[in-house]
A and B are shown apart, each in its own frame.
Chain A
Amino acid sequence: MSLEVTLFLGLLDGVVFGLIMALIALGLSIAFGVMRIVNVAHGEFYMLGAVIAWYATTYLGNFILGLIIAPAAVIGLAAIVERTVLRKINYNPESTIVATIGLLYIIQQLVLAIYGPYAYNVEPPFYLRVDFPWFGYSGYKLSIAFVSPLIMGLTALFIFKTRLGLYMRATQQDREIAQAFGVPVGRVYMASFALGAALAAIAGVLVVPFLQAYYLMGLEALLISFMIVIIGGLGSLKGTLVAALIIGVIDGVVSVFFSPTLAKIVGSVLVAAVLLVRPTGLFGAER
């Protein structure tokens, strides 16, 4: 295959991959921006999204239902966790990390016990093989390139156009002042955490037709989201999208020409470089 074609495939694959990871990273970033916490179990919300979508599609026979049920269920779980755990430890950043590592194992092992060790996938809502002159590509996968930005757009609308979104932004800027102006910070926290989890779950649903739902799938997604938010700056919407595309394209292109392991190493070196130059990320606020 010629150089250009390979490059084209690398870019295509990288953009699709980046756009999915952007959804997950955006969820992580929102929770961080508002609550100043890092949720290590975030990847597990992604995994839960995928697993629930599999159940919904298999037993209810409808993938679109999965797209509704999975985020709803994960929102419920996230709300419970927020109330019973995070609030109890007063959103202390380090305790939150330890608690969410605990949550990671609990979710993972429960899924193992109930869903099992298998990796299942579902029939895509439509089957289309896009035939480029040089190679074929999954039409469903290509559609992700439109669905993911759509969801990110809706999220942005929510944050910038609704009252709750306004509250979230206010809390992100200054919690005390927001509280003084009557923002129900407790509820805003819960909403932010749940919204972050829902985005991860939606990403999980979207990938089941071409990746499989598998109980250990969360960790890799978590690590890539971490890279994205570090490069883009935690709490920045724009930064997340840009960084996700950077990471995705690096991954795609380095992978097709060299090796995917090397791509991840290059991505991490980039993280190191960004940190040395701008410890808060490309679009992160200066501290």
Chain B
Amino acid sequence: MVSGDRISRRKALKAISNVAAAGAIVGAGVVGAIGGFMAGSTTGGAQQTVTETRTREVTKTVTATKTVTAGAPTGGNPIKIGFEVHRTGIGAVYGKWYERTTVAAVNLINEMGGIDGRPIELVIEDDGTDPQRGAQVVEKFALEHKVDFILGALFSNVVLAAAPRAGELKIPYFAVSEGYHVPSGKLNRYSFQPGITDVRSQTQAVAGWIVENLGKKITMVFPDYAFGYDHRDWFGKAARDLGGEILELIPIPPTETTFTKYFPKVPADTEVLYHVMVGPAVLTFVKEMGEFFGSKRPEIFGFIDSLEGVAIDSPGLEFLEGTYFWEAFPRYLDGYDTPYHRFFREKVGVDENGADVNDPKSVATYSHMFSCWETLFIIKETVEQSGYTRRSPEDYRAFIETLENFRWFNEGNQHPQGAKLFNGRLHQGFGQQFISRVENGRLKTVYRTKIEDSVYESDVDYTKQPL
């Protein structure tokens, strides 16, 4: 599914001159744009404008320099984006990679000439993966730093505490979480999640393949809180609709550290064990599962969340050989080798195996972090098309209405994971999903879902809410 197949249906093409800069509406444009980006990033040492200073205000500010692409206006007062990140607390592994991806995307945008000719000023705050701190960070962004937009959190509890505050303060908040909070209608007109598919559609997209290829009698293991319930409810529904049968549900509390005791609950006639875990103990979970079942295991299908940030060839994971994982974006480059994907990997600094180019032990949270990158480009495109200039009710209205009218974000350097179908009523984006098999201690992608597989009907309509 390449972007060339798609015809842009966006309505608001009011700033045609920006289209070229925004790049990549049709395939040819993308290739040209890549050349442009590459050139932009190699001329001069300007990419070093990102200073790793740890001062509070503008932690990572990049100003548009002489190296920006010709034709793009320079200077102008910056567009401020507040980035709420889990630097500490249980989300810290994700936070590290989210920050890295975000900084890479901001650098790139600024090298390209910024947003509408204005550089992005990124203001980063740690929320400690703590909901109360998360809400406080939103206040800080809105009231003290006076940012234009907020790039939001990953962990659902933080998003759920922070997004309503952003709504009250009337500032657009972009979740990068995959949680089913935005499209469920729990949040507000100011909350968006365009950059990553939500759990409900992820599970729906892979259910058919599982029932067809692995088996119909399924036992589910999932975290005992809302994120897990989304899996339970939506995967369960999708699987049953397709003739599958859920034999047993095994919720595991998020604080758990040993898991062997849960496995006796798996019925003997289980054909597929479906697992999704989060948190630091995921590796133990997978290992103990292996020890317990040995060679007598059922087919195993997991969400890569169970092993995000963990090397597949870690000691004790040998038994994973031959099991399957959902991925949003293949950790190993060859799973989806496109020029855009290569470009993204290079810019973020991830090697072919999904680890830090400088430290092969540091494995990226690859199936989630692209959302920061893609969301930033969506903000850029929306600003440019809506004519947003400053923090005012009118400009925010234009921004939000323009975003709500988007239908497609095409594949390209801006959207390396693939095209996104955007539902403006749900404020949610939908993309393709990947299924990979563990072979020789690495993940090999075996199936790619269609975007249509992810789409569901819903009554939620944020556009009816007042601004």
Q: Which positions in A face B, CB cutoff 8 Å?
A: 1, 5-6, 9-10, 13, 17, 109, 112, 116-119, 121-124, 127, 129, 131, 135-138, 209-212, 214, 216-217, 220, 252, 255-256, 259-261
Contacting residues, chain B, for A122 (C-beta < 8 A): 315
A-B contact count (CB 8 A): 97
Nearest-Cβ distance from residue A168 to partner chain B, whole angstroms: 32
Q: A9-B261, A136-B293 are in contact. Are A117 and B315 (CB under 8 A)?
A: no
The answer to whether A17 and B258 have CB atoms under 8 Å apart is yes
Given A118-B93, A256-B261, A216 and B280 contact (CB-CB distance below 8 Å): yes
**What 1/0 mask marks residues of chain B from 261 to 300 whose CB sits below 8 Å from any chain A CB?**
1111100100000000000111110011001111000000
Which residues of the partner chain A approach B55 to less than 8 Å between Cβ atoms?
Answer: none
Q: Contact between A119 and B261 (Cβ–Cβ < 8 Å)?
A: no
* The 6 nearest A-B residue pairs measured at CB: A117-B92, A119-B280, A123-B315, A255-B261, A136-B294, A214-B280
Residue of B nearest to A251 (CB): B261
Tell me if A129 and B294 are in contact (CB < 8 A).
Answer: yes
Specify which of A10, A109, A135 is in contact with B292 (CB 8 Å cutoff).
A135
Q: How near does chain A come to B101, taking the closest CB pair, in angstroms?
A: 16
A117 to B363: give the CA distance in the assembly, Å. 12
Q: Are B96 and A117 in contact (CB under 8 A)?
A: yes
Known: A9-B264, A112-B88, A136-B291. A121 touches B253 (CB 8 A): no
With A129-B291, A261-B253 known as contacts, the answer to whether A9 contacts B284 (CB < 8 A) is no
Q: Are A210 and B284 in contact (CB under 8 A)?
A: yes
- Does B257 sit at the interface, judged by CB under 8 A? yes
- Nearest chain A residue, comparing its CB with the CB of B293: A136
Residues of B within 8 A of A259 (CB): 251, 253
Cα of A149 to Cα of B202 in the assembled complex, Å: 48
Chain A residue at smallest Cβ distance from B91: A117
Contacts of B284 in A (CB 8 A): 121, 210-212
CA distance A260 to B250 in the complex (A): 12
| Given A118-B309, A129-B291, A136-B293, also A212-B261 (CB < 8 A) | no
Distance of B155 from chain A, by nearest CB (Å):
13
Closest to A7 in B: B264
Residue from the set A9, A17, A136, A261 with the largest chain B CB neighbour count within 10 Å: A136
Question: How many Å lie between the Cα of A50 and that of B281 in the bound state?
Answer: 14
B255 contacts the other chain (CB 8 A): yes
A124 to B90, CA, bound (A): 25
Tell whether, in the assembled complex, residue A121 and residue B283 are in contact, meaning their CB atoms are under 8 Å apart.
yes
A217 adjacent to B263 (CB under 8 Å): no
Identify which of B255, B257, B294, B316 contacts A123 (C-beta below 8 A).
Answer: B316
Q: Contacts A10-B261, A136-B292 hold; do A216 and B281 have CB atoms under 8 A apart?
A: no
Nearest CB in chain A: distance from B453 CB, A? 33
If A118-B309, A121-B314, A211-B281 touch, whether A137 touches B261 (CB-CB below 8 Å) is no
Q: How far is the CA of A211 from the CA of B262 in the complex (A)?
A: 16
Nearest residue, chain B, Cβ from A2: B264
| Contact A212–B93 (Cβ < 8 Å) | no
A-B contact pairs, 30 of them (CB 8 A): A1-B264, A1-B268, A5-B264, A9-B261, A13-B258, A112-B88, A116-B96, A117-B93, A117-B96, A118-B309, A119-B310, A121-B284, A121-B287, A121-B314, A123-B316, A129-B294, A135-B264, A135-B293, A137-B291, A138-B288, A210-B316, A211-B257, A211-B258, A212-B280, A216-B90, A217-B280, A255-B262, A260-B253, A260-B256, A260-B261
The contact string, 1 if C-beta is below 8 Å from chain A, for chain B 210-234, is 0000000000000010000000000
Q: Check A135–B92 contact: CB distance below 8 A.
A: no
Q: How far is the CA of A201 from the CA of B93 in the complex (A)?
A: 25
B315 is contacted by which of A118, A121, A252, A256 (Cβ under 8 Å)? A121
Task: Give every chain B residue within 8 A of A252 (Cβ-Cβ).
Answer: 261
In the bound complex, residues from chain A placing their C-beta under 8 Å from that of B316 are 121, 123-124, 127, 209-210
Q: Which residues of B contact A260 (CB under 8 A)?
A: 252-253, 256, 261
Q: Which residues of B contact A116 (CB under 8 A)?
A: 92, 96, 362
Q: Which residues of chain B come closer than 8 Å to A124, judged between CB atoms?
A: 315-316
Q: Report B322 CB to chain A, min CB distance, Å.
A: 17
Whether a CB of chain A sits under 8 angstroms from the CB of B8 is no
- Give the residue name and chain of the A residue nearest to B314 (CB): A121
Q: Which residues of A contact B88 (CB under 8 A)?
A: 109, 112, 117
**B260 within 8 A of partner (CB):** yes
CA A6 to CA B267, docked complex, whole Å = 12
**Bound state CA distance, A69 and B252, in angstroms?**
35
Does B236 belong to the interface (CB within 8 Å)? no
The reply to whether the CB of B95 lies closer than 8 angstroms to some CB of chain A is yes
Q: Whole-angstrom distance between the alpha carbons of A210 and B290 in the complex?
A: 12
With A9-B260, A211-B257, A216-B90: A119-B293 Cβ-Cβ less than 8 Å: no
Q: Name the residue on A nearest B255 (C-beta).
A: A220
Which of A112, A122, A138 has the most B CB atoms < 10 Å from its CB? A138
A135 touches B261 (CB 8 A): no
Minimum Cβ distance to chain A for residue B253 (Å): 5
Tell me, in angstroms, the Cα distance from A212 to B288 when the chains sit together. Answer: 12
Q: Which residues of B contact A10 (CB under 8 A)?
A: 261
Instruction: Please give the distance in Å from A85's CB to the nearest CB on chain B.
Output: 24
User: A220 to B294, Cβ gap below 8 A?
Assistant: no
A216–B90 CA distance with the chains assembled, in angstroms: 8
Complex contacts, A5 vs chain B, CB 8 Å: 264
Closest to A259 in B: B253
State the CA gap A213–B263 with chains docked (Å). Answer: 23
| Docked CA distance A123–B258 (Å) | 17
| Docked complex Cα distance between A17 and B264 (Å) | 17
Docked CA distance A122–B316 (Å): 9
Chain B residue at smallest Cβ distance from A137: B291
Residues of B near A127 (CB, < 8 A) are: 316
- Bound Cα distance A136, B293 (Å): 6
Does B294 lie within 8 Å of A131, measured CB to CB?
A: yes
User: Within the complex, what minimum Cβ distance (angstroms) separates A14 from chain B?
Assistant: 8
Which residues of the other chain, A, contact B257 by a CB distance below 8 angstroms?
Answer: 211, 217, 220
Query: In the complex, how many angstroms separate the beta carbon of B223 from the nearest chain A beta carbon?
Result: 12
* CA A117 to CA B92, docked complex, whole Å: 5
CA distance A256 to B258 in the complex (A): 12
Q: Are A13 and B260 in contact (CB under 8 A)?
A: yes
With A17-B258, A117-B88, A211-B258 known as contacts, the answer to whether A256 contacts B294 (CB < 8 A) is no
Measured CB to CB, the closest approach of chain A to B182, in angstroms, equals: 26
Cα–Cα, bound, A259→B284 (Å):
18
Tell me how far the C-beta of B279 lies from the nearest C-beta in chain A, rounded to whole angstroms.
8
Residues of chain B within 8 A of A137, CB atoms compared = 260, 291-292
14 extra A-B contacts, CB within 8 A, seeds A117-B92, A255-B262, A256-B265: A9-B260, A9-B264, A10-B261, A116-B92, A121-B287, A127-B316, A129-B291, A129-B294, A135-B293, A137-B260, A138-B291, A212-B284, A256-B264, A260-B253
* Least CB separation from B87: chain A residue: A117
Chain B residue at minimal CB-CB distance from A131: B294
